[in-house]
Structure 1
Amino acid sequence: MVAFAIAAATIALTGGSYRPDNVWLLVMRPVVILCLCALLLTTRPDWRSIRPLPLFLGLFALTIAIQLVPLPPALWLGAHGSEGVDAVVGALGGADRWHPLSLTPDRTWNSLLALLVPLTVMAGYASLDDIRRQALIWPLLGLVGISMLLGVLQIAGGSGSPFYWYPVSGRGQLIGLLANRNHQGTLLALALPLLRAWTLLPAAGRRTARVRRLAGGCAAATIVLYALVLGSRAGLALTLFGIVAAFLVEPRTGIGRLPPRQRWAILGGIALAIAALIALALSVDRAVAIDRMLGVKDIETEGRLAALPTLLHMVSQSLPFGTGYGSFVPIFANHEPDALLKPTYFNAAHNDLIELAITGGVMGIAVLAIFVFWLVRAAWRDFRMPDGDPIWRPLKRAAAFAMVILLLASLTDYPLRTPLLGAIFTLLCCWLANGRLGVSEKS
């Protein structure tokens, strides 16, 4: 338990950036490795209770490892469908050398090492008993609150605030524990269905239940207001989806049993509260997300849309083997047309499905398809269950919605590439997959 807590705290404080040159990786990865070893040596994780997640992680690791196996020139030359690559290799005198499928082996090794984070989360989760697994919702919601508070401190200190501890980050923005406002917006959105599940946890009495519902409602209102001033359009859209998801976690609120006048008064009050939050943000000129949505032009969006034809061409060139996990930046620079050249570089495809096809090839897409099939099947099974455990039922439903929010965010950005959001996604997967228990200490 201690090793799991240390690993989680380290990931939270140092895992907010996706960049492979993030200096905090020199702190995070050694700590994660030590904690993983401690977990495996002191406990017997019940891997079967979270199956098939270890299998999925193993398959994904295999697709990365295959790209690192040295191959003879007859096999790897021409495998990427680009004559330019073969021409460069020939000019450098490497046409007769063995080489892995990955065009950037160092970056692909980094991608393989990045899987240590989800592996550690799985090992830690599988080492806990049922009660502690359910109780993980408390520190997760606390993490969201800390990230929000940190964002306020960052804004208060200006762009030079010491609370921005990633060298490359959205300075002057409410990014919190992350390095990107879109990722912060995603974190806020996924918290909404989890808040709803938290309010549904069994309470010691009616008064405790009422206080918890009131606290959850206030926290949700704060998240909505925060999303408005954050400036992330994707984050605001996901927050609206999160509001709907929070209701769907447990649609039976008890309002239907009230008299019509009281029922409409409550629904009207909720709508009025949301409208008041939006009006408040607009009145103080802080509804940045709405301003960006209504803006006629946005350089960032125009750049991503202009790059789409190039990205699709890269997909056709890189299939079926892929260019190597982590290779997107140098590979895109090789394909980038003159019209897209600018002082900054294109750091990601801003669509993880497209980037996975480019770098991971058919094998990566196949593993993703299998995982999505499991997710839909597991979520459908839990939602069809009208009754069940009063804790696991809402928790599993909330986890499914939070996973969908992260996957939707991956269509316009790269949240799962950050160790922190990747670890949260792994925890959500564990909640959804949670089955037979039986954890024991090694003697």
Structure 2
Amino acid sequence: MTNRVREGLFTAFLIACLAIGGASREGDLGNFALQVCGIGFLGWGFYRFDWAGLKAPERLLLGFGALGLLTLVAQFVPLSPEAWAQLPGRSAIAAELALLNALPDPGFVTLSFHDSLRSAMWLLPALGAGIALLAARTVPTVVVALALVGMALLSLFLGLLQVLGGAETDWYLYDFTNRGYMVGFFANANHMATLLLVSLPFLGALVRESRTRLPERKVELTLFGAAVFGLLAIGIGLVGSLTGYALLAPAALASVLIVWTPRKRLLGLLTVPALAFAALLLGIMGTGQNAFSPDANSSLAGREQIRMNAVPAAVDFFPVGSGLGTFEDVYRRYEDQERVTTTFINHAHNDYLELVIDLGALGLLLIAVFFAWWLYCLRCLWGVSASPFAWAGWVAIGILLTHSGWDYPLRTAALSTVFGICCVLVARMVPARDADRGASIT
């Protein structure tokens, strides 16, 4: 298989993920197709892997993946009914099941074998894309960036059709969605805003790369990039997501610095505090609700209530956790029955809190290890002459990590695949500090 064919297949897969992987509860057939393709990319990636040629950031990223795999396997460890009942958070459940003479035999660490397996399957598109890209001898950075920015613009155009068509228009791709608002290829307007946000640093990388390749067209390319940037920024404003509003300034600042970087350290030194400030701002606001929604105030109270109910669950099930993908069932046990409404709670709207509920101490460890890797890559980027696409990937990861503090963007195949690709772009194009100075890139 030639490089062009591989690059074409990979780009088509990214486009498919963005087009049909925008919901975490719907689109089962489309997501199943993406998962099957993810298995194919995963198998090809492991078959073609050059283990000896991996550099430190790549090895550390694979180490994180191995830790995640061990955590996943731990969910399915069989236990006797007596041992299962002794795990944190299981005593009340065991007492109820004992009354029905229905104690699980064997039991598992996870409360729901099916939900944990289903959640693991949702990781396949991101894992497949990441492993395949990591195994490739050349990384099609320009093509990937063009696909991401192009799909962001298409999603923006679709969102305009949705708003102009009204709440009942057929332009909405999902039944369970933010009708009346601009969601594009997604079910959630916040996730639409995040796609537009992560496309900004890649647009900056494309402008810088094109200015380098075509210096005689530097002015025209800069003006064209600025026009596209303005269109994406206006789109973020029209989506109305408070997530988009809070993260637009850090994303825009980082994108501009990718194009014009007086000093390499400036990008990281300004981006990290800007993202932290945006996270603090939205933490104080307590919501990522749409700014145009008449229910914004009730959403604020609702998300605070979710956190108040979820924290005791995390404490009760710690350090083992309730099992990957079991938040929905666990949360119902902690709701105040007198305050239950018709609003359906399927996520904690804080992926870090939900991971701790599901995975306990291992979830905390995974979070800490990944943040350490991300900051380590920043240190490596400072020490070498890195590609602008590596910087774009690093900034995009920061945007997604920040958004995960009050929502669940990585639980969609679309954004999780973008996340996986960004991780590889950072790891693959951050050379080690010694002689092996660069990955093969195109």
Given the two structures, how large is their TM-score scaled by the length of structure 1?
A: 0.82
Query: What CA distance in whole angstroms lies between the structure 1 residues aligned with 2:24 and 2:140?
Result: 29
Matched, 1:244 2:264: no
Query: What CA distance in whole angstroms lies between the structure 1 residues aligned with 2:393 and 2:214?
Result: 26
Is the contact between residue 404 and residue 410 of structure 2 (CA under 8 Å) also seen in structure 1? yes
Distance apart, 1:90 and its partner CA:
1.1
Structure 1 equivalent of residue 160 of structure 2: 152
Counterparts in 2 of 1:305 and 1:151: CA distance versus 1, 3 Å: same
Distance apart, 1:20 and its partner CA:
7.0
SS in 1 for 2:89: coil
Larger radius of gyration, structure 1 or 2?
A: 1
Structure 1 equivalent of residue 136 of structure 2: 128
Choose the corresponding residue for 2:238, options 229, 232, 235: 229
Distance apart, 1:84 and its partner CA:
2.1
SS in 1 for 2:79: coil
Deviations 1:233-282 (A, max 9, x none): 1121111221122234355469xxxxxxxxxxxxxxxxxxxxxxxxxxxx
Choose the corresponding residue for 1:195, options 198, 203, 209: 203
Query: What CA distance in whole angstroms lies between the structure 1 residues aligned with 2:43 and 2:237?
Result: 42
Structure 2 equivalent of residue 409 of structure 1: 403
Is the contact between residue 61 and residue 115 of structure 1 (CA under 8 Å) also seen in structure 2? no
Instruction: Specify the code of the residue in structure 2 equivalent to 1:208.
Output: R
Distance apart, 1:124 and its partner CA:
2.5
Counterparts in 2 of 1:225 and 1:9: CA distance versus 1, 3 Å: closer
Query: What CA distance in whole angstroms lies between the structure 2 residues aligned with 1:315 and 1:15?
Result: 29
Query: What CA distance in whole angstroms lies between the structure 2 residues aligned with 1:8 and 1:430?
Result: 14
Distance apart, 1:156 and its partner CA:
3.0
SS in 1 for 2:209: coil
Query: What CA distance in whole angstroms lies between the structure 2 residues aligned with 1:123 and 1:252?
Result: 31
Aligned-residue CA RMSD (Å): 2.6
Deviations 1:119-173 (A, max 9, x none): 2112331343446245421212112112111212222333333332223222222
Deviations 1:264-306 (A, max 9, x none): xxxxxxxxxxxxxxxxxxxxxxxx96656xx896111111112
Instruction: Specify the code of the residue in structure 2 equivalent to 1:411.
Output: G
Counterparts in 2 of 1:366 and 1:348: CA distance versus 1, 3 Å: same
Distance apart, 1:196 and its partner CA:
1.6
Distance apart, 1:420 and its partner CA:
0.7
Query: What CA distance in whole angstroms lies between the structure 1 residues aligned with 2:25 and 2:76?
Result: 20
Gaps of 5+ in 2: 1-5, 264-288, 432-437
Choose the corresponding residue for 1:220, options 229, 237, 240: 229
1:372-391 alignment runs, 5 A limit: 372-385=371-384, 388-389=385-386
Query: What CA distance in whole angstroms lies between the structure 2 residues aligned with 1:291 and 1:92?
Result: 49
Query: What CA distance in whole angstroms lies between the structure 2 residues aligned with 1:218 and 1:417?
Result: 31
SS in 1 for 2:309: helix
Structure 2 equivalent of residue 48 of structure 1: 54
Matched, 1:29 2:29: no
Counterparts in 2 of 1:36 and 1:83: CA distance versus 1, 3 Å: closer
Counterparts in 2 of 1:131 and 1:350: CA distance versus 1, 3 Å: closer
* Aligned-residue identity in percent: 25
Query: What CA distance in whole angstroms lies between the structure 2 residues aligned with 1:4 and 1:40?
Result: 15
Gaps of 5+ in 1: 255-287
Is the contact between residue 153 and residue 232 of structure 2 (CA under 8 Å) also seen in structure 1? no
> How many residues are matched?
398
Counterparts in 2 of 1:134 and 1:222: CA distance versus 1, 3 Å: closer
Structure 2 equivalent of residue 16 of structure 1: 22
SS in 2 for 1:161: coil
Is the contact between residue 64 and residue 111 of structure 1 (CA under 8 Å) also seen in structure 2? no
Instruction: Specify the code of the residue in structure 2 equivalent to 1:370.
Output: V
Instruction: Specify the code of the residue in structure 2 equivalent to 1:323.
Output: S
